[in-house]
Amino acid sequence: MERLTRRVDFRAAASGLRAPGSAFVVQARRRAEGGGPVRVGFTVSRQVGNAVERNRVRRRLREVVRLSAGMHGGHDYVLIGRRAALAAPFGEMKRELDAALRRIHDPERTEREARPTTGGDRRQSLHQAGSPRPQPPATPRRKPRNT
Average pLDDT along the chain, 147 residues, taken 10 residues at a time: 88 90 91 82 93 94 88 87 92 91 75 52 47 66 73
Q: What is the predicted pLDDT for the residue at 125?
A: 45
**Can you tell me the distance from the alpha carbon of 121 to that of 123, in angstroms, rounded to the nearest whole number?**
6
Query: Domain boundaries in the chain?
Result: 2-107
Q: Which of 88, 102, 90 is nearest to 19 (CA)?
A: 102
The third-level CATH classification (topology) of the domain covering 2-107 is Ribosomal Protein S5; domain 2 (3.30.230)
Q: What is the pLDDT of residue 30?
A: 87
pTM score of the predicted model? 0.69
